[in-house]
Amino acid sequence: MLVPVITIDTISDYQAALDEAVFFTHSAAGYLRIGGKDRLDFLNRQSSNDIHLLRAGHSITTVLTSPTARIIDVLQLVDEGETIAAITLAGAQQQTAQFLRGKIFFMDQVTVEDVSGQIAQIELIGSDAKQTLAALGVTSPPRQGGVSSIVRSGSTLHVLAQILGISLGYRMLLPAGAVPALIQDLADAGVKELSPLAFEILRVEAGLPAAKRELTEDYSPLEASLQQAISETKGCYTGQEIIARQITYDKVTKHLVGLRLDEGVEPGTALRVEDKQVGVITSSVQSPRYGVIGLAYVKRPYHEPGTLLSYQRNPQTVQQAVVASLPFAD
């Protein structure tokens, strides 16, 4: 699929996200609950971050990796008291629940429950997002990595701030049954719903990797710029030795970068320098501010900003792409 043409409505949504506040419903986002007295130790030995640092009022991003240190899922963990909530990548919840259940030893007191259908995830984006949260009763919005929780109309609302790797703004978590009242309150406050295309444009502008695009088993957490989700001091987990060598010996051979493109192009299109393939385009959009832009994985040393690459939408036409820093800026 090539870059969709942006309409007046899309531009209106996009501008509201910059100047006001908008909300976006993550209908495919996953939500697992990890229970049992061994839940911390269990998650710690399965993923890249130090899960023992998890505490009330804060969240932790961690990565599930394969034996070859490739991304299986990126999880955002929240302490719920007797359980740990794990926000998964969009559409990954069933696979991840199955993966985690397969890692439970017979002595482990651990449960993994997929409650994605019970918990709604709504993202609040924009310069007026804090004021909107205050109108909803969240008078102390969380800082990055933090979690604020309140009770609204008998239901608990958790608010997470700018989740590393998977969020542009504040992620609100609430029971599915409480969504209509929240949507009405947002409408009463003049907050409009963001279209999927406008969200995709903002995502690419921010350099935010996405499920099934940049966050796949084709790439490692270090290649995807998820260094903050990796502990260099914790014990072993699947893929840990490879990641440790990549860090110690500077062996990350490709990097997630931005691109300024001549024209939009399908994900999976190769990037070249002369006749050598040096990367692959993973996303492209038409931005009202920056023109046609994209995300890509590019091999060193061609990942440096300003590097001129080429790509082809068809065998007859060679087009240019210029590597750009992330997030995009004027």
Domains in the chain and their CATH numbers? 8-205 (3.30.1360.120)
Phi, psi of 291 (to 5 degrees): 80, -155
> Looking at residue 6, what is its pLDDT?
86
At 113, give phi and psi (nearest 5°). -125, 130
Res 280: pLDDT: 98
Cβ contact 116:124 at 8 Å: no
Q: Determine the pLDDT at residue 198.
A: 96
Beta bridge partners of 13: none
Burial of 67 (C-beta count, 10 Å sphere; 0-12/13-18/19+): exposed
pLDDT for res 5: 77
Give, in order, the Cα–Cα distances in Å from 31 to each of 77, 110, 306.
10, 16, 40
pLDDT for res 235: 80
Q: What's the confidence (pLDDT) of residue 265?
A: 92
pLDDT at 167: 67
- For residue range 3-49, what is the model confidence (pLDDT) as tens digits? 777 889 999 999 999 999 999 999 999 999 999 999 999 999 999 99
Separation between Cα atoms, residue 164 and residue 107, nearest integer Å: 33
Q: Give the per-residue pLDDT at 316.
A: 82
Query: For residues 327 and 324, what is the distance between their CA atoms, to the nearest angstrom?
Result: 8
Closest by alpha carbon to 164, among 62, 64, 235, 247?
62
Predicted local distance difference test score (pLDDT) of residue 309: 98
| Binned average pLDDT, 10 residues per bin, the chain of 330 residues | 80 94 95 98 96 94 96 96 96 97 95 98 94 94 91 92 72 96 95 96 95 96 95 91 94 96 94 96 96 97 98 88 94
- Amino acid 153: pLDDT: 85
Whole-number percent of the chain with pLDDT over 70 = 98
Instruction: Give me the pLDDT at residue 84, please.
Output: 97
Which residue has tokens 């700018």? 162
The answer to whether the predicted template modeling score (pTM) of the entire model surpasses 0.85 is yes
Beta strands in the chain (DSSP E): 22-25, 30-35, 59-65, 71-79, 83-88, 111-114, 119-125, 147-152, 155-161, 170-175, 192-193, 254-261, 270-273, 276-287, 291-299, 308-314, 317-324
Read off the tokens for 54: 């998890």
Task: Tell me what pLDDT residue 166 has.
Answer: 55
Q: What is the dihedral of CA 61, 32, 151, 37, to 10 degrees?
A: -90
Tens-place pLDDT, residues 261-281: 999 899 999 999 998 999 999
